[in-house]
Structure 1
Amino acid sequence: MPIRKVGVVGAGVMGAGIAAQVANAGVPVVVLDILPGGAARAVERMLKTEPAPFMHKGAARLVTPGDLEADLALLAECDWICEAIIEQPEAKRALYARLQGVRKPGSIVSSNTSTIPLAALTEGLGEEFAADFLITHFFNPPRYMRLLEVVRGPAARAEAAAAITEFADRALGKSVIPCKDRPGFIANRIGGFWMQSAINRAFDLKLTVEEADAAMGRPLGIPKTGVFGLLDLVGLDLMPHVAASMKATLPADDPYVLGLREHDVILRMIAEGRTGRKGKGGFYAREKGPGGERLKRAIDLWTGEYRESEKPQLESLGLRDLRGLAEHPDRGGRYTRAVLLDTLGYAASLVPEIADSIADVDAAMRLGYNWAYGPFELIDRLGAAWLAKALAEDGRPVPPLLVAVGEGSFYRVRDGRLECFGTNGAYHAVPRPEGVLLLSDVRRRSKPLARNGSASLWDIGDGVACLEFHTKMNAIDLGTVEMIGKAVAMGKKGGFRALVIHNEGEQFSVGANIGLALFAANIAAWGEIEGLIEQGQKAMRSLRDAPFPVVGAPSGMALGGGCEILLHCDAVQAHAESYIGLVEAGVGLIPGWGGCTTMLRRWAENPRAPKGPMPPVAKAFEMISTAQVAKSAFEAREMLFLRPTDGITFNPDRLLADAKAKALSLAEGYAPPEVKPLRLPGASGRVALAMAVQQQVALGRATPHDVVVCDHLAETLTGGRKDHTEETTETELHALERRHFMALLKTPATLARVEHMLETGRPLRN
């Protein structure tokens, strides 16, 4: 059954967020709340919230808010009704009884609960309701967290679970993990236990919060928040509720229950409202110093008072090898070892209780807690035999699954396929949903067509090649530029029908490697820098002018040079969470690889824009000078970083397949685009832009060096010394980009901006 309209009951943070993601997917959604006007206020609040629940303002128009008492009938047209109200089974069952009187036959009802057993939710509601009922556990915030845990009871229709899985996967961009009806399901059962262990062990071994978070961070592939920083993010006041729920639903001898402890300092913090970022600070807090500077403070776990935050000095925390860290004798090493034995031993004991597949467990932890590695992937990094021996030496039980894998590993590659160890003692292929194409799978089964230290070229089938970047944050350097040229040259020789540019990194590309540019500038290697700018322009033109279609497939940040690559593709198939922009002004530069030229052309050809030479210049100037970044692929369309014809994919696992399909659709009868000269306003346009900049200076919004950058940008965008009666060619505009880029790079203020960005990750306002 296709899902064409959705209802959400409960307009709190989770319910409203679920509704917003449904609307982001272009699907109408009804939101009802028990408080009069509560749903309407939730929509208004979300339009002002950062990070934004809505991917673009227009999505809010698909949300119909209403009151539960007066507007229950609005749910009659919904194919799926998701309940997200208070975590009380009686209240939920009372709501479901009311839904029975209005919902249409065959519509699916689900609960967003993570604490109440499914049987308790459907008790007394009859077989018909149970057949249509599921648990659909979203993670907060629903727009950004990809995990959706789905529990199907024994009476539920397989078609209902299939419909939700299909919709959540393709429309909402979720990775759907089937779970068993067990307390906490997968992610919160293991994740909650991990946080509990990490807190307890920090107290036992007398670690500071900074030391504990550093130990729980990079070596384990856990976000840099660690555990105490994570608790600040989610709220300390949730801890007692989670503990109470687990204690009430798990057996008394479960390690989760046995490890439950109350710490006086945490109880005191909660009582005083120090519940984390949403309260008066948490384990960490920010305070203003005597000079107005922001000081980071950290809690002393033994006094409960804040002190100046300290950088951890333990020797073990400098290690990057996980087993080396776990075997180090200092407090950091002993802490890591204890938490790993607790968490990984517990996770291994829970299969098949909570899930039939270790791959599902690992995926749930990666997606629900942003771990780089799931628990069984971490076991493989440590060695399964090492973990079993360490558990036995500590006098702990060794889980049967760990005994069964023995000296082997939980994952292996066989004949180019990724396989995982099963509860039956055999290895099984890690399944991929139909229509999913992952570059990581391509890498396992084949060798690259070409490769250097910065990029690789892969055959992804049907005559389509994929250009992959693999530098740090996929920053573009000379090797990247050279591989772009090589990819085009190989295609021209008949090597493939189309090219897709894609990678599975967290960011598509953060732009040019400004660290290399700073180094070259410091040794006055101006010729080499200008040569790289010219080579980059040539590479971008080669993408656009190739005799085959080129499709960009970004996810995450595509900034600066990364954005310029997309601007020179024939088409883009973007992940919905793509953040695209020309941000060079933030480091005192202007786009130098055709970004200025292409944005001028985009706005000049935009049928919605006013006609004449000045409007496209003004729009491009506004966006580039203020380093505007689209906060979703939908915003990127509005800002013309993407065309109206470019596609948007919600599930990143489907992005490469969608981009390949788009490339093949363009391949038949393909011809490169025709490039026409532009008519630009010249000197009169520069004067108008200069006046606009001076207004920003008067308002305190532009710094002295902003004015310098804007002057160079204005001359580039208005055509240099040409008059508005003359046409300006692409070659002339590229020459202007190079000249003004180099002029700015030679200024001390720009070099200071570049250095500050590299050191702090933030722009310098000089």
Structure 2
Amino acid sequence: MTIKKAAVIGSGVMGSGIAAHIANAGIPVYLLDIVPQAVKDNGGDRSVVAKTAIDKMLKTDPAPFMHKKAASLVTPGNIEDDLEKLADVDWIVEAVLENPKVKHDLYQKLEAVRKDGSIVSSNTSTIPLSILLEGHTERFASDFCITHFFNPPRYMRLLEVVKGPKTRQDAFDTVSAFCDRVLGKGVVECKDTPGFIANRIGTYFMAVAVNEAIDGGLTVEEADAITGRPMGIPKTGTFGLIDLVGLDLMPLISKSLLSTLPADDDYRRIHRDNALANKMIAEGYTGRKGKGGFYRQTKQADGRRVKEAIDLKTGAYRASEKATLASASAKNLKALVETADAGGAYAWRVLSQALSYAADLVPQIAEQITAVDEAMRLGYNWKSGPFELIDQLGTGWFAEKLAAEGKAIPHMVKVAAGRPFYKVEGSKLLFLGTDGEYAEVKRPDGVLLLTDIKRGSKPVAKNGSASLWDIGDGVLCLEFTSKMNALDQDIMGMIRKAMGIIGDGKSGAYKALVIHNEAQNFSVGANLGLALFAINIGLWPQIEATIAEGQNTYKALKYAPFPTVAAPSGMALGGGCEILLHSSAVQAHAETYSGLVEVGVGVLPGWGGCKEMVIRHLANKRRPGGPMPALSAAFEAISTAKVAKSAFEARDMLILRPTDGITFNKDRLLADAKAKALELAANYTPPQEPEIRLPGPTAAAAFSMAVDGFAQQGKATPHDVVVSKAIGFVLSGGNTDITQVMTEDDLLTLEREGFLALTKTNGTINRIEHMLETGKPLRN
């Protein structure tokens, strides 16, 4: 069975978000909700609830839709008039109120209209499957499961799935595979237990972290400095995370867990009714969505915005202060808990309880430790799961320290008996099973991870910023390894080395190149620190040589005799975006954010970005009417540092071609890119260099007038004008006219000259310095 059409019942934040993400994947979906009583009494649009939810999503940032066109795949309706439309739907997702009676009544109605074999799932996070199925038919039970999405559904990768004893394996496999391959989710099978995996452990962790911060006399800043990056948990830390998800949500989660947890569960011991949190909620301090939370922003009389934090003892706000705990700078987890300060003691008190709790829940909540670690990485963005964290401390050390403090040794730590939960043998990653034996960590079919390849092999070539890996079948993979994958001369050198190793792609061992890495971001652009250093000491010949080297390397990549496939995820900005523009093809993760953002640091795209955007926009048959409309579109994108907020938006911006691929599941990206490279290699010929005809000074004058107009309206700063006019001069072709044929090298020369001239201005130097110091663009 395949899922070709879906429906979501309930258009709240979660339901509408699930519908939007199904539409993102190109699947038509109905979104149904109730008919409001006011509409019944007074008339009006009976589907207004669902329609309002769609309209709201189109205005929401971050956007639930990857492209506004996806909204057309969501058909609004209501459960009184439109249920019969579900007769041709393959998958129905229930996302209504967390009330068993409401759900049961809906299931009875669904059972009367749905077709044989259609799958029904609940997005519940609190009600056990056994309760959801009470009183329902065998037919319904066989097609029913739980699919617990995390909010927001587009961006959070975790999907917890639960099947019942009567659930058809085919139905469960179908929905799991769909959510994995089509929706891009990390699917984790859980048991039918309260809170499943991620919320069960995550809620416990946050409660302990709050309790121990209060008991230990730590400030919210100190607690967050410890429970954030030092533990490999998002930098928000605990109090910052609670502000993000909403203080008012925490009592609801606690109430739900307490209503279903076993009587001896340790969450009952650590749960407290927090008077300060209750007072904050009552006064509207529910976090970022309210007036503030544990942190808030206040506007001063002089217009400045000041960050404040709440005093956990008095409940009064004060100016936020940076934590100065030495433990916050610990090099590793063990060093953190052994640091002799308040932060180190706090870290141990939190981890000793939270990790013990998690280690006592297997096999109760999941069959294997791998499911628990995966759920916490994907659902709470932990860098390492609980069992991986215990390994960082050492299972033997962890057990001994617990015993020395008179604390119980958790079940799975006893099973480990001093052995690690994970170990490597040869090229295989093994995990410790509940039976005390090791087994190999298996990847789903179609998943290829560079991490696994690196574990079992040595690089074909390596330098300080990049490595080349053999990923099989004659394909090389170029991996960036510099800080934030910033591009430098070592990366340029490795691109050229890869081209030398592959040769003509026919007579040697290799026939294609994939450019990919598993970092958070593909590349944020060129190394600004090196650029600023060269500027400050006036190394103009070296700067020009560096620009020329990048241009020549990227052009060689474009015209290589073998296919090159870029496989980006996360940010691909500036020079990272220019790699996409010069590759034979792109296989992009759906959540790729790409753009030529060089104006933010006062320069123009200098490694062929201007040149490639000119070529692509001129060739774009969707924008007829001579060169000016095409050039204007390129000018707008580059001069405003426009960034595509999905791979689909990158297609609109011509960063991706219609033939470039999009992968929803990040774990499948490398395999898809490799398959595309092999497909191209079967009969590959490099592209022909185009003839370029540009208007020259007339176009440059038009761009200049437009920029001056924006400046007069206050929409462009003085240095924006300088940079934008330089971009306009390059895009117009400089001193040419429409009768002359230009080459790519002609445009590259204009790029290089424009880039170099801008680096000699104070405005650009100030922008680069400000970006390096603050991470934000300077509006000078």
- TM-score tier (shorter): over 0.9
2:394 corresponds to which residue? 383
Matched, 1:641 2:652: no
1:564 to 569, 578, 594: 578
Per-residue CA deviations over 1:492-548 (Å, capped at 9, x if unaligned) read: 162411110000010000010111111111121222221111111111011111110
Q: In the aligned structure 1, how far is the partner of 2:684 from the partner of 2:103?
A: 57
2:281 corresponds to which residue? 270
Q: How does 1:38-117 map to 2 (within 5 A)?
A: 38-117=49-128
Q: In the aligned structure 2, how far is the partner of 1:399 from the partner of 1:276?
A: 35
Q: In the aligned structure 2, how far is the partner of 1:325 from the partner of 1:104?
A: 57
1:598 corresponds to which residue? 612
Give the drift of 1:400. Answer: 2.4
The one-letter code of the counterpart of 1:523 is I
Per-residue CA deviations over 1:551-605 (Å, capped at 9, x if unaligned) read: 0100000000000001000100000000010000111100000000000000111
Matched, 1:310 2:321: yes
The one-letter code of the counterpart of 1:750 is T
The one-letter code of the counterpart of 2:167 is A
2:752 corresponds to which residue? 738
Matched, 1:333 2:344: yes
**Is the contact made by 1:548 and 1:672 (CA closer than 8 Å) also made in structure 2?**
yes
Q: How does 1:513-662 map to 2 (within 5 A)?
A: 513-662=527-676
2:40 corresponds to which residue? none
1:511 to 507, 520, 525: 525
Q: In the aligned structure 2, how far is the partner of 1:431 from the partner of 1:489?
A: 35
**Is the contact made by 2:597 and 2:641 (CA closer than 8 Å) also made in structure 1?**
yes
1:186 to 189, 197, 200: 197
Q: How does 1:317-396 map to 2 (within 5 A)?
A: 317-396=328-407
Q: In the aligned structure 1, how far is the partner of 2:481 from the partner of 2:625?
A: 42
Secondary structure of the corresponding residue to residue 728 of structure 1: coil
**Is the contact made by 1:555 and 1:652 (CA closer than 8 Å) also made in structure 2?**
yes
The one-letter code of the counterpart of 1:140 is N
The one-letter code of the counterpart of 1:227 is T
Give the drift of 1:328. Answer: 1.5
2:264 corresponds to which residue? 253
2:311 to 283, 296, 300: 300
Q: How does 1:138-287 map to 2 (within 5 A)?
A: 138-287=149-298
Give the drift of 1:89. Answer: 0.8
1:407 corresponds to which residue? 418
1:694 corresponds to which residue? 708
Q: In the aligned structure 1, how far is the partner of 2:304 from the partner of 2:502?
A: 55
Per-residue CA deviations over 1:266-324 (Å, capped at 9, x if unaligned) read: 11101101000111100000111222111111011111111000011122112122111
Larger deviation: 389-398 or 479-488?
A: 389-398
Give the drift of 1:698. Answer: 2.0
Give the drift of 1:264. Answer: 1.5
2:41 corresponds to which residue? none
The one-letter code of the counterpart of 1:693 is V
**Is the contact made by 2:128 and 2:192 (CA closer than 8 Å) also made in structure 1?**
yes
2:43 corresponds to which residue? none
1:31 corresponds to which residue? 31
Secondary structure of the corresponding residue to residue 679 of structure 1: coil
Give the drift of 1:609. Answer: 1.4
Per-residue CA deviations over 1:599-644 (Å, capped at 9, x if unaligned) read: 0000111111124232222111111000000000000001100000
Q: In the aligned structure 2, how far is the partner of 1:204 from the partner of 1:106?
A: 54
Secondary structure of the corresponding residue to residue 295 of structure 1: strand
1:666 to 675, 680, 688: 680
Q: In the aligned structure 2, how far is the partner of 1:320 from the partner of 1:142?
A: 34
**Is the contact made by 1:341 and 1:390 (CA closer than 8 Å) also made in structure 2?**
no
Matched, 1:477 2:477: no
Secondary structure of the corresponding residue to residue 604 of structure 2: coil
Give the drift of 1:485. Answer: 0.7
Q: In the aligned structure 1, how far is the partner of 2:527 from the partner of 2:642?
A: 20
Give the drift of 1:459. Answer: 0.6
Q: In the aligned structure 2, how far is the partner of 1:723 from the partner of 1:634?
A: 35
2:39 corresponds to which residue? none
Give the drift of 1:669. Answer: 2.3
**Is the contact made by 2:202 and 2:376 (CA closer than 8 Å) also made in structure 1?**
yes
1:446 corresponds to which residue? 457
1:4 corresponds to which residue? 4
Secondary structure of the corresponding residue to residue 206 of structure 1: coil
Q: How does 1:709-720 map to 2 (within 5 A)?
A: 709-720=723-734
**Is the contact made by 2:230 and 2:329 (CA closer than 8 Å) also made in structure 1?**
no
**Is the contact made by 2:495 and 2:553 (CA closer than 8 Å) also made in structure 1?**
yes
Give the drift of 1:394. Answer: 2.1
Question: What is the aligned residue count?
Answer: 766
1:20 corresponds to which residue? 20
The one-letter code of the counterpart of 1:436 is V
Give the drift of 1:114. Answer: 1.0
The one-letter code of the counterpart of 1:143 is R
Give the drift of 1:427. Answer: 0.7
Q: In the aligned structure 2, how far is the partner of 1:205 from the partner of 1:322?
A: 20
Matched, 1:708 2:708: no
Q: How does 1:130-141 map to 2 (within 5 A)?
A: 130-141=141-152
Per-residue CA deviations over 1:109-163 (Å, capped at 9, x if unaligned) read: 1100111111100000121111111010000000000100000000110011100
Q: In the aligned structure 2, how far is the partner of 1:389 from the partner of 1:383?
A: 10
Give the drift of 1:405. Answer: 1.2
The one-letter code of the counterpart of 2:626 is G
Larger deviation: 714-723 or 429-438?
A: 714-723
**Is the contact made by 1:468 and 1:502 (CA closer than 8 Å) also made in structure 2?**
yes
Q: In the aligned structure 1, how far is the partner of 2:467 from the partner of 2:324?
A: 39
The one-letter code of the counterpart of 1:4 is K
Q: In the aligned structure 2, how far is the partner of 1:628 from the partner of 1:96?
A: 46
TM-score between the two structures when normalised by the length of structure 1: 0.99
Q: In the aligned structure 2, how far is the partner of 1:496 from the partner of 1:615?
A: 42
The one-letter code of the counterpart of 1:741 is F
Secondary structure of the corresponding residue to residue 727 of structure 1: coil
Q: Percent identity?
A: 60
**Is the contact made by 1:252 and 1:258 (CA closer than 8 Å) also made in structure 2?**
no
Q: In the aligned structure 2, how far is the partner of 1:279 from the partner of 1:676?
A: 55
Per-residue CA deviations over 1:425-461 (Å, capped at 9, x if unaligned) read: 1111111000111110100111111010101001111
Secondary structure of the corresponding residue to residue 648 of structure 1: strand
Q: In the aligned structure 2, how far is the partner of 1:253 from the partner of 1:162?
A: 34
**Is the contact made by 1:218 and 1:224 (CA closer than 8 Å) also made in structure 2?**
yes
Give the drift of 1:214. Answer: 0.3
Q: What RMSD, in angstroms, separates the aligned Cα atoms of the two structures?
A: 0.9
Secondary structure of the corresponding residue to residue 237 of structure 2: coil
Q: In the aligned structure 2, how far is the partner of 1:194 from the partner of 1:473?
A: 29
Per-residue CA deviations over 1:717-745 (Å, capped at 9, x if unaligned) read: 11111223212111111111111101101
Give the drift of 1:414. Answer: 1.0
**Is the contact made by 2:587 and 2:660 (CA closer than 8 Å) also made in structure 1?**
yes
Secondary structure of the corresponding residue to residue 676 of structure 2: helix
